[in-house]
Amino acid sequence: MNIAISIGHHKDAQGAEYNGVTEYALATGWAHEVASLVDGSFVVSGTLNKKVKEINDREADLAIEIHFNSFKVWEDANKNGIIDDNELKNAGKGSETLYYPGSSKGELFASCVQNHLGKIATPDRGIKKGWYRMDKERGPDYFLLRTKCPAIIVEPEFIHRLDRINNIKHDAIYHIAVGITEAYSLIYGG
């Protein structure tokens, strides 16, 4: 197996943040722990272009990028009809996995990982086609589009649920690793 485990975002653009914890910091720990459980895996980090290039140069069989969802909703607390910063509230919970639209191997890979992860990281939000910012008109997500191998983006939980993330971390990572191994076996027959 030759499996790329990609750290979502990078040190100069750390993604979503909640209470001083960034998506990049969480993804770094998770990526290294997943890699320690999956034989033949390697961790990639850096800018998106750099990560995709390394994955392709190393001819990975599968690639997974770890992120943590973020979503805010507006609650007009002062009833003035204007969105104020303190009126944006964190929302969302659960896990989901994205794959390149139209890729049967990517969809199978996403299903394997999410079927295992969804048992621990509940609610299970399922698998989804990975459109950039979930907008079909903007095309597929760059990571999913540019990797030459089947690739997925896993979102184990929403970043504002740090207690939940810490509580499920080791079990969720184990289940991600099992899903990767299962997908490899189904796609490559061994």
Does residue 82 sit within a domain?
no
Alpha helices, H only, the chain: 23-37, 48-57, 104-117, 142-146, 162-188
For residues 132 and 109, the model is more confident at 109
* 63 in Cβ contact with 6 (< 8 Å): yes
Position 90 scores a pLDDT of 75
135-186 confidence digits (pLDDT tens): 677 778 899 999 999 999 999 999 999 999 999 999 999 999 999 999 999 9
Q: Which domain holds residue 126?
A: 3-71+90-188
3-14 confidence digits (pLDDT tens): 999 999 999 999
**Number of structural domains, the chain?**
1
- The distance of Cα 47 from the centroid of its chain, to the nearest Å, equals 16
Could you tell me which residues are beta bridge partners of residue 129? Answer: 99
Does residue 184 sit within a domain?
yes
Dist CA 74 CA 157 (whole Å): 20
Q: What is the CATH number of the domain that holds 163?
A: 3.40.630.40
pTM for the model = 0.91
